Chains A and B, each alone.
Chain A
Amino acid sequence: LAKTTQPISMDSYEGQEVNITCSHNNIATNDYITWYQQFPSQGPRFIIQGYKTKVTNEVASLFIPADRKSSTLSLPRVSLSDTAVYYCLVVGGNNAGNMLTFGGGTRLMVKP
C-alpha cells in the first residue's frame, strides 16, 4: 500500500481557497487517490476521488499531475464549517477488499 504524506495542520480564513497537497511516491498503476473529511466525533465522509489530471465535484477539486506521485485537494471559498481533518488515501482498484489505510490527516482550521 502506498504511504501518503500531508501537512499536519493548515490555517485559513473564510472565503479563501485552500489547497492541501499530499505526496504518494509509491503509488501503483491500479491505485486511485481518495480524500475523506472528518468532523469531530463523526465518521469520515468521502469527498472526492481521482486517477489522473483533474476531477471536480460540487465540494472540491482534485489535481493530479502526470507522474501521480502527488495530488492537491482544492477547497474553494472555505467557510467555518469546513474546519475538519482531511485525509488523503491511496486505494487499490483491484478488488482486493475494502481496507482503507488512514494517515494522520491534515487538520484544517478556518478562521473568521
Chain B
Amino acid sequence: KAGVTQTPRYLIKTRGQQVTLSCSPISGHRSVSWYQQTPGQGLQFLFEYFSETQRNKGNFPGRFSGRQFSNSRSEMNVSTLELGDSALYLCASSLLSDSSYEQYFGPGTRLTVT
C-alpha cells in the first residue's frame, strides 16, 4: 500500500506570496491532518479534515487554510507569506478521526520564505 505523499517536497517563495501544498493520504484513509515543524516551536498542529470537514484547528492565523476533496486528498494554503513561515509542513493520514489510532506521516514539504 502506498504511503502518504506530499508535493512539492521543496519550495522557495518570496515574502508576500502565497503557496499551496498538497497531500495524498493512504488509500482508504479519510482523516488528514497538517502540522508545521520549526526548530524553535517544534511540531505544531495546524488543522484536521475528516470527510471534507474541518474538525480541529490549531492556533494559527487565518493566513493558514486548508481543504479536503471527496477523494480525501487535501491541500493547505498559506497566503501573504512571512519569513517565519519557513518550516517543514507535514501531512498525516489516519483511517478514522480518533487520535488513538495510528497516524501515518508523509515526508513533508520544506518551505523556505525569502
Q: Interface on A for B, CB 8 Å cutoff? A: 32, 34, 41-46, 49, 87, 91-105
Asked if B87 CB lies within 8 Å of chain A CBs, one says no
Give the dominant DSSP class at B's interface.
strand
Q: Is the CB of B97 within 8 A of A102?
A: no
Q: Interface on B for A, CB 8 Å cutoff? A: 4, 31, 33, 35, 42-45, 48, 50, 55-56, 58, 88, 90-92, 94, 96-108, 110
Q: Is the CB of A98 within 8 A of B94?
A: yes
User: Of the candidates A46, A95, A105, which one forms a contact with B98 in the assembled complex, judged by CB atoms under 8 Å apart?
Assistant: A95
Using A46-B102, A49-B100, A92-B99 as known contacts, say yes or no to A98 and B107 having CB atoms under 8 A apart.
no
Report B11 CB to chain A, min CB distance, Å: 14
Using A44-B105, A46-B103, A49-B102 as known contacts, say yes or no to A98 and B110 having CB atoms under 8 A apart.
no
Report B102 CB to chain A, min CB distance, Å: 4
Report B101 CB to chain A, min CB distance, Å: 8
Number of A-B contacts (CB under 8 A): 83
Using A97-B55, A98-B50, A99-B99 as known contacts, say yes or no to A46 and B42 having CB atoms under 8 A apart.
no
With A44-B105, A46-B104, A105-B42 known, 8 other A-B pairs at CB within 8 A are A46-B103, A91-B99, A95-B98, A98-B97, A98-B101, A99-B33, A99-B56, A102-B43
| A44 cross-chain contacts in B, Cβ below 8 A | 43, 90, 92, 105
Q: Is the CB of A98 within 8 A of B108?
A: no
| B104 cross-chain contacts in A, Cβ below 8 A | 46
- Distance between Cα atoms of A105 and B37 in the complex (Å): 13
